[in-house]
Amino acid sequence: MSTASQVATHTAPADPAHPAVGAAISLLDAYAPGDHFLATPGRTLLARGPRRHVPHDERPLTARVNATLAAAAAAGQESPVVIGAIPFDHTAPAALSVPESVRTAPALASDPLIALPATPPTTGTWEIRQVPEPEIYGKGVAAAVERMWRGEFSKVVLARTLELTSDAPVDLPAMLQRLARRDPSGYTFALPTAPGRTLIGASPELLVSRHGKQVVANPLAGSTPRSSDLAEDVRRAATLLESAKDLHEHAVVVDAVHQALAAHCTELTVPARPSLIRTATMWHLSTTVTGTLRFPDTSALELALALHPTPAVCGTPTQTARQVIAEMEPFDRDFFTGVVGWGNAEGDGDWVVTIRCAEAEERTLRLYAGAGVVAASEPEAETAETAAKFRTFLSAVGAEL
């Protein structure tokens, strides 16, 4: 049975070993602003039509999602799913809804047509404002390191933004095409978060997935920019695998994920050492954690909320790191370092860490990038890491920092 058939009834089952050529690309090509688009290594989803929005009230988010799915089913909707975004502060309003129709296809990476190049960005003028400026960001990193040496906390993830303004409206479909074709094995998304506003990105990091009793998490922490020179690129990857600073940062995140999932899973498997994954711009230390669900009614969304935020996007201890972020970052993260994904009434779903993203509205884009700061961090290196992470989006819109 195709994984696609588990999500919606609008697409006939397909054999994953022989995916229809163009099936996934057709959904990518069909995306229009206001749609929900989400591509994962397992499936591609395009949702549209009248929606039931998940309300924001005093009930836990999982209860509100379950109630919205149940109402859709009671109204006659077959196999409804919830899709959308949850902010960094998951007590803030989420942008989750149950769409009227969901079309599905195999993964983008399995579609041979994904190898065709996207149309290059048109030459335009982008006005770029850095918030904060690199020098100020570096001073913030140094201040955080000093506080760590005083024993206040052990890690914090500090972010900065680029505010891009164009003389023409943002072309979301073209941007999505370039993001998807550049890293087709990752998690590409374009999700409405408010009228006229879209969260768009290409994240490399799975927070958690649940399919039946099987649970998978793939924390990433510890990164280095890639190089266009093959020998240098390999050297950087090898150096990352042996970096004491990055291995420590990664171990902190994996331990937090392990502890959070242990309460929900049996037979939890955690590799002793990380491996490497790559995107077009970055190398990341990666660990794939797998387990078997202890209680069958625990949903993928419940697992995601138990994990979020991990030290990879916040820090440790979590509450202290949150406070440091609030004190030091001169902007609201909103949906950056939150969660995007989908889930169904049976509890299956995929939830992804919202990084390598931007919020688009009319003629503006706000790009986000962060770096994990530990006691061994150097301001120049962390500033360079955020600049490298910005390259994912800058290349998609034809802008340079």
CA distance 207 to 261: 11
Contact 170, 364 (CB under 8 A): yes
Q: Is 389 a catalytic residue?
A: no
- What is the distance between the alpha carbons of residues 345 and 73, in angstroms, rounded to a whole number? 9
Kindly tell me the sign of the dihedral angle through the C-alpha atoms of 373, 252, 368, 117. positive
Active site residue 302: no
Whole-structure pTM value? 0.92
Query: What are the structure tokens assigned to 265, written together?
Result: 């899973």
Active-site entry in 133, 146, 155, 213: 155
Give yes or no for a contact between 176 and 37, defined as CB atoms under 8 angstroms apart.
Answer: yes
Please say whether the beta carbons of 324 and 241 come within 8 A. Answer: no
In eight-state DSSP terms, residue 310 is P
Query: Which of these, 82, 184, 174, lies nearest to 360 by C-alpha position?
Result: 174
Q: Which residue has the tokens 């879209």?
A: 198
What's the chain's Rg over C-alpha atoms? 20
Given the residues 78, 133, 146, 205, select the one marked as catalytic.
205
Helices H / strands E in the chain, number of each: 9, 20
Q: Rounded distance, CA 201 to CA 191, Å?
A: 9
Written as tens digits, the pLDDT of the chain (401 aa) is 333 333 333 333 344 445 568 999 999 999 999 999 999 999 999 999 878 999 999 999 999 999 999 999 999 999 999 999 999 997 899 999 999 999 999 999 999 999 998 888 876 689 999 999 999 999 999 999 999 999 999 999 999 999 999 988 999 999 999 999 999 999 999 999 999 999 999 999 999 999 999 999 999 999 999 999 999 999 999 999 999 999 999 999 999 999 999 999 998 999 999 999 999 889 999 999 999 999 999 999 999 999 999 999 999 999 999 999 999 999 999 999 999 999 999 999 999 999 999 999 999 999 999 999 999 999 999 999 999 999 888 888 888 87
Maximum Cα interatomic distance, the chain, rounded to a whole number of Å: 60
d(CA 89, CA 81): 23
